[in-house]
Structure 1
Amino acid sequence: MDDRKLEVLRAIVEDYVSTQEPVGSKAVAQRHALGVSAATVRNDMAYLEEAGYIQQPHTSAGRIPTPKGYRLFVDRLGKIKPLSTAERRAVHRFLSEAIDLDDVVTRTVRLLAQLTHQVAVVQYPSLNRSSVRHLEIVAVTPARLMIVMITDTGRVEQRYVETPAELSEDHILELRRLVNEQLQGKALADAPRIIADLASLARPELRDSASALARVLLETVVSRTEERVAVAGAANLTRPGNFFSGSLRPILEALEEEVVLMQLLGRADSNALLTVRIGDENEIDDFRETTVVTAGYGPGSVVGHMGVLGPTRMDYPGTIAAVRAVARYVSEILEQNR
């Protein structure tokens, strides 16, 4: 395909996104400085239609992009529309005011929904891709302890342990020192092996308590608590101009399923900086009429994903820029708080 046909496709995509109306050859020739006549544009549109990049929704109408056309448009994007200076300042200020990780995630998902006018989904940092920053052990009673595990991504996990015997303050300090010596700075993916040896490293009189502590720690690091996601902006799917051939109900119901949301964001072990899945490229049947734009985030390496879901008729340059920028800001915040 030559450059002129690509320019005609770009013009059709941009006009259809902005006007919500099928685009004709005369409109393309008048609105875009292509340097050719409407007749030449008609010929190029005929080629694009035959190749499956555009289609005519009904007789006598102009043309609209197909998912294949959107795919080519996204793949050939030469320039991503950057956020304005005011938008960047607002994003930075809004996210930098967060007081903890939960607040960061809540603010992020709300911000993405507002910037893109789509459904936003943000995964909490995965425990499997985090490291232990610190473990705190606090006595609730002489035979009941509270464990607080803080990761390098700001996740805080809290559990309670019933010990087989009452522990003195010195015993608790000794257990705290032991678990931090063994786990501090270690990747949580390696933690189960380390935790299994904790009891054997404790003094004989503390081994039963260390064993009880190890069992609860093991439950913490192998649990599925990393599968937490936040969602905002579902009402954006009902905005005027969002066209779906069927009912929105299956999409809205799917968005309520946590497992589906994790599939939506992509494989948890993916390090992809940005992914755009259009129409049938989505593996989930309920999302075959949508586009999903996702990005990984994290301090140095990817520890979670965020993204937006909306109709295939979306502002791709603006949406991609917003998801990419917000992911970068969240990564910087996590890096600063390590």
Structure 2
Amino acid sequence: MSAEDRRFEVLRAIVADYVATHEPVGSKALVDRHHLRVSPATIRNDMAVLEDEGYIAQPHTSAGRIPTDKGYRLFVDRLSQVKPLSMGERKAIQGFLSAGVDLDDVLRRSVRLLAQLTRQVAVVQYPNLTRSVVRHVEIVALGTNRLLLVVITDTGRVEQRVVEVDQEITDDTVSVLKGLLGGAITGRRFADAADGLRDVVERADPSVKPAATTAVAALLEALVEHPEGRLVLSGTSHATGAWADQPGSLRGVLEALDEQVTLLKLLAVLESPDAMIVSIGQENDDANLSTSALVSAGYGRGDMLMGGLAVVGPTRMDYPGTMAAVRAVARYVGEIVAGR
């Protein structure tokens, strides 16, 4: 084993102990807990080199060492592979998520499950509408001059609007509008569906033109991506314990989770369903997350990315376990959503 590999083993041991104990790690603890097959003096020398190179730091005089952001980054980058979950764990995840009755239920279940598996804050993004395809358009009369417009996507996402129209609604009006609007956008991607509505009003029979004008305006609004409300969070109660020794950081973390802007930006970086990103400490643009680590993964079908999910925790999180959980849940969410 080279000196570099040996020092990485020392770093790996420090990361493991600090994650487990939340206490700075000394050379004696490494000798007692890990079979590093070198002398205590060699471990002390290796720790000194790791500290000089910025991978570990001494938070207090005469205390042990803790990993730095740079140390965690090296640890994550050197993970040769993420240990997969057991067959039993995978079946439990698949069974729990498969029991979801609709898209909302599946996403709520996925984020709750991820928070439970990692004991951290979990977040999931609704399928991106620009990549969704309109599967069905439904129109329901709610009275003599009110309509409920419902657009259902291939990912199971539902967009609906209630509109008031300047004409009396009859069964014939509903039938004609449904055929007109459904024929214009069914089978189109959300990003392209607006084009299909451009000449609908012009083609509409005069008897339904007032209703068609209002309905088209409402559908055009529904087809525009709305960033707000696209995330579901779970496990925010875990944040209190996770940052218990960093109360100054906790408030900022909660603010970042509440605003969701940073999380959306992180998930927007994902480019494919099998993509995984680990962002550590100062790597996060939001200063409120400078003591946090985020593990995110995309979900979807084939090469098409539908959305993403992530776990937010302190930098001393269990990276191998968290990455395995995020990857597994993302894979099953993609399979279930794509199959609906």
TM tier, smaller:
over 0.9
Cα separation, 2, equivalents of 1:269 and 1:305: 7
Residue type of the alignment partner of 2:136: H
1:188 corresponds in structure 2 to 190
* Matching of residue 253 in structure 1 with residue 262 in structure 2: no
SS in 2 for 1:303: strand
Cα separation, 2, equivalents of 1:172 and 1:283: 50
Cα separation, 2, equivalents of 1:124 and 1:254: 19
Decide whether the 8 Å contact of 2:243 with 2:249 is kept in 1: no
1:125 corresponds in structure 2 to 127
* Matching of residue 110 in structure 1 with residue 109 in structure 2: no
1:46 corresponds in structure 2 to 48
Higher mean displacement: 135-144 or 202-211: 202-211
Following TM superposition, by how much is the alpha carbon of 1:101 offset from its aligned partner in structure 2, in angstroms?
1.1
Following TM superposition, by how much is the alpha carbon of 1:18 offset from its aligned partner in structure 2, in angstroms?
1.5
Following TM superposition, by how much is the alpha carbon of 1:115 offset from its aligned partner in structure 2, in angstroms?
0.5
SS in 2 for 1:91: helix
Cα separation, 1, equivalents of 2:113 and 2:230: 18
1:292 corresponds in structure 2 to 294
1:149 corresponds in structure 2 to 151
Map 1:230-309 → 2, pairs under 5 A: 230-239=232-241, 242-244=244-246, 246-263=248-265, 265-267=266-268, 270-271=271-272, 273-300=275-302, 301-309=304-312
SS in 2 for 1:302: strand
Q: 1:255 to 1:202 in 2, by over 3 A?
A: same
Q: 1:15 to 1:223 in 2, by over 3 A?
A: closer
Cα separation, 2, equivalents of 1:260 and 1:76: 26
Find 1:74's aligned residue among 73, 76, 87: 76
Cα separation, 1, equivalents of 2:60 and 2:299: 43
Cα separation, 2, equivalents of 1:194 and 1:23: 63
Find 2:320's aligned residue among 317, 321, 328: 317
Following TM superposition, by how much is the alpha carbon of 1:241 offset from its aligned partner in structure 2, in angstroms?
7.4
* Matching of residue 163 in structure 1 with residue 178 in structure 2: no
Decide whether the 8 Å contact of 1:228 with 1:258 is kept in 2: no
Cα separation, 2, equivalents of 1:224 and 1:200: 28
Q: Which consecutive aligned stretches of 4+ in structure 1 deviate over 4 angstroms post-superposition?
A: none
SS in 1 for 2:248: coil
Cα separation, 2, equivalents of 1:287 and 1:241: 12
Higher mean displacement: 265-274 or 48-57: 265-274
Residue type of the alignment partner of 1:73: F
Q: 1:213 to 1:87 in 2, by over 3 A?
A: same
Decide whether the 8 Å contact of 1:297 with 1:330 is kept in 2: yes
* Matching of residue 177 in structure 1 with residue 211 in structure 2: no
Higher mean displacement: 153-162 or 284-293: 153-162
Following TM superposition, by how much is the alpha carbon of 1:111 offset from its aligned partner in structure 2, in angstroms?
0.8
Cα separation, 2, equivalents of 1:30 and 1:145: 72
Cα separation, 1, equivalents of 2:36 and 2:66: 19
SS in 1 for 2:268: coil
After superposition, the C-alpha distances for 1:125-161 in whole angstroms (9 at most, x for unaligned) are 2222211110011122243221111011111111123
Following TM superposition, by how much is the alpha carbon of 1:43 offset from its aligned partner in structure 2, in angstroms?
1.5
Decide whether the 8 Å contact of 1:124 with 1:226 is kept in 2: no
Following TM superposition, by how much is the alpha carbon of 1:99 offset from its aligned partner in structure 2, in angstroms?
0.7
Cα separation, 1, equivalents of 2:242 and 2:179: 59
SS in 1 for 2:101: coil
Residue type of the alignment partner of 1:110: R
Decide whether the 8 Å contact of 1:227 with 1:262 is kept in 2: no
2:101 corresponds in structure 1 to 99
When normalised by structure 2's length, the TM-score is 0.92
Cα separation, 2, equivalents of 1:177 and 1:235: 48
SS in 2 for 1:3: helix
1:21 corresponds in structure 2 to 23
Decide whether the 8 Å contact of 1:274 with 1:294 is kept in 2: yes
Following TM superposition, by how much is the alpha carbon of 1:268 offset from its aligned partner in structure 2, in angstroms?
6.6
For the aligned residues, what is the CA RMSD? 2.1
Following TM superposition, by how much is the alpha carbon of 1:275 offset from its aligned partner in structure 2, in angstroms?
0.8
Decide whether the 8 Å contact of 1:113 with 1:119 is kept in 2: yes
* Matching of residue 329 in structure 1 with residue 332 in structure 2: yes
Q: 1:99 to 1:240 in 2, by over 3 A?
A: closer
When normalised by structure 1's length, the TM-score is 0.92
* Count of residue pairs the alignment pairs up: 336
Cα separation, 1, equivalents of 2:7 and 2:14: 11
Q: 1:245 to 1:225 in 2, by over 3 A?
A: closer
**Identical counterparts, % of pairs:** 54
Decide whether the 8 Å contact of 2:129 with 2:225 is kept in 1: no
Following TM superposition, by how much is the alpha carbon of 1:65 offset from its aligned partner in structure 2, in angstroms?
0.5
Gaps of 5+ in 2: none
Residue type of the alignment partner of 1:54: I
Following TM superposition, by how much is the alpha carbon of 1:305 offset from its aligned partner in structure 2, in angstroms?
1.5
Cα separation, 1, equivalents of 2:312 and 2:115: 9
Following TM superposition, by how much is the alpha carbon of 1:236 offset from its aligned partner in structure 2, in angstroms?
0.9
Following TM superposition, by how much is the alpha carbon of 1:60 offset from its aligned partner in structure 2, in angstroms?
2.1
SS in 2 for 1:275: strand
Following TM superposition, by how much is the alpha carbon of 1:64 offset from its aligned partner in structure 2, in angstroms?
1.1
Decide whether the 8 Å contact of 2:242 with 2:314 is kept in 1: no
Cα separation, 2, equivalents of 1:252 and 1:241: 11
